[in-house]
Amino acid sequence: MVNKNIAVKYCGCRSREDLELVMNSSAGYAGFIFAQSKRKVRPEEVSRWLKELQPVPQKLVGVFVNSSIEEIEQALNVLPLDVIQCHGDETPQFLKQLKKKTGKTIWKAVRHEEEGWKALAEYAGVADGYVIDARVAGAYGGTGTAFDWEAVPFYLEAASVQEVPCFIAGGISASNITRLLSFQPHGIDISSGIEMDGKKSKEAITELEGMIINENSIS
């Protein structure tokens, strides 16, 4: 049965203009990167954009890589994040402590490798969702690289057992979205695929969403 409702997250908003484009899109989630990246932003910057553009209809996702709980709490003091995405080597115990401290929805990123879906079992009961990304040496994400999507069904099954969503990330664009949708992911996480010259593009978003809507509704 085809998944007729797919969650969409546009990640890596790095300017007020980026955020405004995402606000006016059909995506349900807007993501901000607070880790070393060409798309890194400061919580104070994002807070200013939110105040200027409010109300923002999307749920807000903060992406952190191996940050301390204190660093994440500092961001939460400035921003009304709905989701904390841990995109590094965070342990199940760390996620458990983070959830206890913040009470927030926690997503864990998993970098694909052979039988990588087995790693999801370690986070059962503590992760509220997963983001599966490509494994690229020296990087934790944001590389614009896709992994072997033949593995997607195994990740979806592992997440479904836990009754949590599984987002697919990495190298998704209008040129390959149709193939990815054939695997019926719970959600997709896109950054470079909606950019032109390093900025979020209205044209790229419109093209991508048109292709998604052919088969699904977006949330």
Cβ–Cβ < 8 Å for 56, 35 = no
DSSP assignment letter at 136: B
Sequence ranges of the domains in the chain: 5-218
The mean pLDDT value for 79-83 works out to: 97
The mean pLDDT value for 24-40 works out to: 93
pLDDT band at 215 (very low <50, low <70, confident <90, very high): low
pLDDT of 157 strictly over 80: yes
pLDDT on residue 144? 63
pLDDT tens-place string over residues 202-212: 999 999 999 88
DSSP assignment letter at 55: P
Alpha helices in the chain (DSSP H): 16-23, 43-53, 69-78, 92-102, 152-161, 177-181, 202-213
Distance between CA 52 and CA 59 in Å, rounded?
17
- The pTM is what? 0.91
Distance between CA 61 and CA 170 in Å, rounded?
17
5-218: CATH architecture: Alpha-Beta Barrel (3.20)
pLDDT of 3 strictly over 90: no
